[in-house]
Structure 1
Amino acid sequence: MTSDSNLPRHVAIIMDGNGRWAKKRGFPRALGHKQGGEAVRRTVEAAKTLGLECLTLYAFSSENWKRDESEISDLMNLMRRFIEKELDAFIRNGLTLKIIGDYKAFAPDIVEKLEDALERTKHGERTLAVALNYGAQQEIARAARLAAEEGEVTPEAMDRHLYTSDLPPLDLLIRTSGEVRLSNFLLWQSAYAEMLFMDVLWPDFGEDHLRQACEEFARRERRFGGR
């Protein structure tokens, strides 16, 4: 593994491929999402092993409401179970949970569970940011509106009003499943992030994949617009 100085501080992942994973095996999509939840658990543990400061996961976009009601219901139930099952582990492992997006649009019981988790994990040493009911275009519009209310709309003012304002700059963005697009995720924050598109479907993602991604990041020369 590379030295700590070459590691990304902040890695974000577009977790794509649950449905295709299930379809390839003749399983219902709900099972794909369940296995995707197992991949989240593995990846959070791997981030700790690798010493990452912040991991951001794209869990539910603002466009996901367009999916079939049955699939949305499955996703909401999975979210409920995941919070209940993993919260104590988050606390033990020193994780601070952060939500980016308008999570208060969810059912009241989910909002209550999320806010309880936010409160109980607020003193962790590392951050797990989860994008829920999130869309980057909406985030940028919101930040611009708030910046305008303060005065001049500048990049610095915009940064202050993003959901990620208290997180390290985004270093590496990963998308699984072989798709090559950002899907309205962290558009502002990705301006100078390294990007890696991996062929693995999300339910098969694990520590080896995250390690490989970090090693690829370490081999790249970051220029930030310079030569």
Structure 2
Amino acid sequence: MNKPLDYIFPAPPAGLDPTALDPARVPQHVAVIMDGNGRWAKKRALNRLRGHKAGIEAVRETIRCASDLGVRYLTIYSFSTENWKRPHDEVVGLMDLFAKTMLAEVDGLHEENVRVKTVGDLSVLPAETREAFDEAWRTTGDNTGMTLVVAVNYGGRQEILRAVEGCMRHAVLEAEETGGFLPPTEELFERGLYTAGIPDPDLLIRTSGEMRVSNFLLWQIAYAEFVCTDVLWPDFDRYEFLRCLLEYQGRNRRFGGVE
């Protein structure tokens, strides 16, 4: 952990004790399904894009808090392969929001020594959005602090098919070179994932009370702990993040073993 708990959590609400968190047991990799922007906006008679804009502050807060606590990887589910089914105006607005937000935030992330990485198929994104993510990678790629993994146009099933195709290509080359066939291994399969080189999530957080994985990191979350909160994403702050971490630390992670 880089900073003391009373600095990270200066004004905890009644009943929430930051000192209950064990800094030595903070998860290495936290993944977040950020849900509830639309419902947050609807409750306030606003359009959905206003909800997405409101959610940016929750992203900032979570990045800052996770980095200060010593989390090594934070993966946020920004846009799924299924999200293209949303109304055209919302999709266009989201792509513009991604580009503007990434460009506005990249210098601050760089100063915090955060490295930005994307997972998903960026090839079909608008050029401006792709270039913003590319710029973030170029600027922060050598940083050594927390890695912020932005999942955009990401789908777990599609990622698995991509990895299978990689295994098949490897098998064909192996057969051509040796005349034999070696069955694929987990290690070989994982090389074909977007997340190659990134450890699997220890903790998966989903906001807004939903209880689905929504095609997110299907291979990687095999032994992740799930914490679901009723809080809508724009209202998610460092104290709600703390509650999720405390719940995680209260679990007994057996990885299929006995108690």
| Normalised TM-score (structure 2) | 0.85
Deviation track 1:81-137 (CA, whole Å, cap 9, x = no partner) reads 101210100100011101000012111122112111111101122100000000000
In structure 2, give the amino acid aligned to 1:225. Answer: G
Aligned to 2:29: 10
Map residues 8-47 of structure 1 onto 2, 5 A cutoff: 8-47=27-66
Kindly indicate whether residue 205 of structure 2 is the aligned counterpart of residue 185 of structure 1. no
Q: In the alignment, is the contact (CA less than 8 A) between 1:172 and 1:193 conserved in 2?
A: yes
- The whole-number CA distance in structure 1 between the counterparts of 2:41 and 2:109 is 28
> Which of 93, 99, 119 is equivalent to 1:80?
99
| Paired residues, number | 227
Kindly indicate whether residue 236 of structure 2 is the aligned counterpart of residue 202 of structure 1. no
Contiguous gaps of at least 5 residues in structure 2: 1-18, 172-182
| Alpha-carbon offset, residue 49 of structure 1 | 2.0
| Normalised TM-score (structure 1) | 0.97
- The whole-number CA distance in structure 1 between the counterparts of 2:241 and 2:49 is 24
> Which of 111, 116, 137 is equivalent to 1:97?
116
Kindly indicate whether residue 207 of structure 2 is the aligned counterpart of residue 176 of structure 1. yes
Aligned to 2:131: 112
In structure 2, give the amino acid aligned to 1:108. Answer: A
Deviation track 1:56-84 (CA, whole Å, cap 9, x = no partner) reads 00000011111111101110111121012
| Alpha-carbon offset, residue 197 of structure 1 | 0.9
Greater relative contact order (Cα < 8 A, sep 6+): 1
Counterpart secondary structure, 2:200: coil
- The whole-number CA distance in structure 2 between the counterparts of 1:111 and 1:25 is 32
Q: Which has the larger radius of gyration?
A: 2
- The whole-number CA distance in structure 2 between the counterparts of 1:207 and 1:102 is 30
- The whole-number CA distance in structure 2 between the counterparts of 1:99 and 1:32 is 23
Q: Which moved more, 1:44-53 or 1:145-154?
A: 145-154
Aligned to 2:154: 134
Aligned to 2:169: 149
Q: Which moved more, 1:145-154 or 1:182-191?
A: 145-154
- The whole-number CA distance in structure 2 between the counterparts of 1:186 and 1:169 is 9
